[in-house]
């Protein structure tokens, strides 16, 4: 049986939806505006993508969403949309930590390489949401929020840095053993992870699950 999964990515200013079949991306739509456009765009993009791929809502087996950390507002919009669809369709909800999607970018684009992968999302000022992985994708440093300093990346060199904090980090840290990969985050990078979670029945409690915030709407660490 074919397993169709819908994927939602709303943790950054990019609003993105993707559709996969048996873990392979079928199509995706990405949109970015001057501000956060998720509230006005997300459901329209879902409808457009399903129509484009000739897949109906009733054909979906589960929905995955970017669980964070990231934009407080974006995460809430993505999760509420995913919850509403899962309740209506009576299908499972799958949470994908945003840094797992960033890691997947590195694993897919770079392939086998002898460098650690560091994922960073902008958390305002000189703070970032930070996680480090080895070349095989195993976590070396647990997800945290930290202030970037000149020597922050020294323990992980050589490394590839992925995420929307790259610009401000690169302005502070330049090193021949550090590569910045500026591939935009997209829901399509949830495809393989979500399919693995689906097969493992790693589902969320649709009524009670919440995003990974790390920081509240006021910027204070939780």
- Rounded (5°) CA angle 23-119-49: 35
Q: Is the pLDDT of residue 74 over 70?
A: yes
Average pLDDT over every residue of 61-81: 95
Distance CA 94, CA 165 (A): 26
Q: Is the pLDDT of residue 2 over 90?
A: yes
Distance CA 139, CA 127 (A): 20
Q: What is the pLDDT of residues 16-26, one digit of tens each?
A: 999 999 999 99
What's the predicted TM-score (pTM) here?
A: 0.93
Q: How confident is the model at residue 43 (pLDDT cuts 50, 70, 90)?
A: very high
Q: Is the pLDDT of residue 172 over 80?
A: yes
Distance CA 96, CA 62 (A): 13
Return all residues near 155 (Cβ < 8 A) that are at least 6 apart.
none
Torsion of CA 139, 144, 150, 154, to 10 degrees: -20
Distance CA 160, CA 179 (A): 5
Q: What is the pLDDT of residues 178-213, one digit of tens each?
A: 999 999 999 999 999 999 999 999 999 999 999 998
Map out the domains of the chain with their CATH numbers. 4-98+185-199 (3.30.420.40), 99-181 (3.30.420.40)
């Amino acid at each position: 049986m074919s397993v169709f999964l819908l994927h939602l990515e709303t943790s950054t200013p990019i609003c993105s939806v993707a559709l996969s079949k048996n873990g392979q991306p079928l199509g995706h739509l990405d949109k970015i505006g001057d501000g956060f456009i998720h509230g006005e765009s997300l459901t329209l993009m879902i409808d457009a993508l399903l129509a484009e791929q000739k897949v109906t809502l009733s054909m979906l087996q589960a929905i995955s969403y970017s669980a964070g950390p990231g934009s407080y507002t974006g995460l809430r919009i993505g999760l509420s949309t995913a919850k509403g669809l899962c309740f209506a369709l009576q299908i499972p909800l799958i949470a994908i930590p945003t840094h797992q999607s960033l890691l997947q970018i590195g694993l897919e684009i770079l392939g086998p390489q002898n460098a650690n992968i560091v994922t960073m999302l902008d958390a305002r000022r000189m703070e970032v949401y930070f996680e480090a992985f080895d070349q095989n994708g195993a976590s070396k440093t647990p997800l945290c929020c930290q202030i970037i300093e000149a020597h922050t990346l020294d323990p992980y060199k050589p490394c590839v840095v992925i995420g929307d904090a790259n610009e401000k980090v690169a302005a502070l840290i330049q090193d021949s053993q550090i590569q910045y990969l500026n591939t935009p985050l997209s829901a399509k990078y949830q495809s393989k992870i979500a399919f693995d979670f689906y097969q493992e029945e790693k589902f969320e409690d649709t009524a009670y699950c919440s995003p990974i915030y790390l920081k509240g709407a006021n910027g204070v660490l939780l």
